[in-house]
Structure 1
Amino acid sequence: MKTKKAFVLLNGLKPAALPNLSNYQIICAIDGAYNYLEAKNIVPDLVTGDFDSIHKIPTTVEVINTPNQDYTDFEKALFILNERGFSEIDVYGGSGKEHDHFLGNISTALTWKKKLNITFYDDFGKYFFINNTFTTSDILNKNISLIPFPKAKGIITAGLKYPLKNEKLNFGKRIGTRNKAIENTIEITLKKGNLLIYISK
């Protein structure tokens, strides 16, 4: 079965450039993020949220009002996308502006780690939680950071300037920021815990 991929735009700092939207099966604007797409004459497939920051609710696309304040608009959108069979979620506008929103988005991604592959993108790089094994290519000389949430054990890396050999990271004690890829392909394995990977552009 082909993986269903979603583009999600949150109402944080908007990217200088958008990806090729034709690579996605759905374009989803969260609340006030619709204002940005409308200004660029981009028509999303879905607009959702509690609509407290949208200028004008569209009438020609699917609109789902989610007023439940027990969840963030981002969380509620993930519920919808998961129910519709989307498993790859690329998120733009998830950082910048008010930092409590950014931290909340990271928390939401951690909550959904086992069900959805969520990757955040901004003008400086991308970041995401990994499962037990992660490999990526075309990455030579890029900065790589490994951030535990709050602990990660049994970390082994290959292709990084400062390798980890069955080591542990602990938020507030030791984290793995500003490492660097010295090979075109890197691999990171994790035995236990939660590990956020940041890759610079």
Structure 2
Amino acid sequence: MSSHHIVREDQEPALIIANGASCDPELLGQLLEWSPLVIVLDAAMERVMQLDIKVDVLLGDFDRGFDPQYYQEKQYPLEIVVAPNQDKTDLEKAFDYLCQRKIPAVNVVWATGKRADHTITNLTSMVPYRDKLKIVIIDDHSKVFLLPRRFEKWYEANTTISLIPVGKVVGIDSENLFYPLKKDHLIIGYKTGSSNHVASDGLVVIEHTDGDLLLMECKD
């Protein structure tokens, strides 16, 4: 797999490669094609090195005997960011790093699958960054992102869309979903908007008045 192109950082999202289940190499290649900055989290570097990817930043707490300096020469120039704070995950630390660099958007791969606790934590970790960073978590079956108060996007008919609340979300209205929501609410663990789909080719509009709502574009 070839290294990524050099493009301006304000044109395309950065890319974070976490340490969950691998995605399809073709998907990874598409994301790498125009990513101006590639960040690898901790021991995922061992797997990434097998894919001939040029990495810009290696970030993590580097516990369990992992030696980041081993990759310094192999990936020169490589920035190594030691982030020992145990109150945050390595993914959250990577989000903080991007915010500090004033990079506005990021795609994340290898953040789902494997351990369920890691998957849930990674998906919900987007919430504190609502106003700081546009985050999209992508795997072979889903694209997940946090919705603004009003969301509009064109979709093909029958595209699967799941609306998953983080906590409680109220005042939800939708247009062009097969199962419409009108002044509705969703509560994680009690009522979610899983496995809805687009009614017809055209614009989907989703609004909510309060709470944090994840949209998942899904395919089997």
Does 2:132 match 1:124? no
Does 2:49 correspond to 1:38?
A: yes
**Helix, strand or coil at the partner of 1:20:** helix
The number of equivalent residue pairs is 201
Q: Does 1:20 align with 2:31?
A: yes
Counterpart among 171, 185, 191 of residue 168 in structure 1: 185
Aligned residue type for 2:109: Y
**One-letter amino acid matched to 1:99:** A
Return the letter of the residue paired with 2:214: L
1:11 aligned partner: 19
2:63 to 43, 48, 52: 52
Identity, % of aligned positions: 31
Over residues 148-170 of structure 1, what are the superposed CA-to-partner deviations in whole Å (9 max), with x where a residue is unaligned? 11111111111111111121112
Deviations 1:92-129 (A, max 9, x none): 01111111111221232112122111111011111111
CA shift, 1:11, in A, is: 0.2
Residue 95 of structure 1 corresponds to which residue in structure 2?
A: 112
Q: Secondary structure at the match of 1:103?
A: helix
Kindly indicate whether the alpha-carbon contact (under 8 Å) linking 1:141 and 1:181 is maintained by their aligned counterparts in 2: yes
Correspondence 1:192 to 2:210 = yes
How much is the aligned-residue C-alpha RMSD, in angstroms? 1.9
The offset of 1:4, in angstroms, is 5.4
For residues 187 and 198 of structure 1, the distance between their equivalents in structure 2, rounded to whole angstroms, comes to 14
Gaps of 5+ in 2: 1-8
Look up the match of 1:180.
Answer: 197
Q: Distance in 2 between matches of 1:50 and 1:152?
A: 34
Q: Structure 2: which amino acid aligns with 1:58?
A: Y
Shift, 1:183, TM fit: 2.5
Aligned-pair distance for 1:3? 5.0
Q: Which runs of 5+ in 1 are unaligned?
A: none
* Distance apart, 1:43 and its partner CA: 1.2
Q: Tell me if the contact between 2:123 and 2:137 (Cα under 8 Å) persists in the aligned partners.
A: no
Aligned counterparts of 1:70 and 1:171: Cα–Cα separation in 2: 24
Say which is worse superposed, 183-192 or 116-125, in terms of deviation: 183-192
TM-score, with structure 1 as normaliser: 0.92
Q: How far apart are residue 140 of structure 1 and its match?
A: 2.6
**85-94 or 100-109: bigger deviation:** 100-109
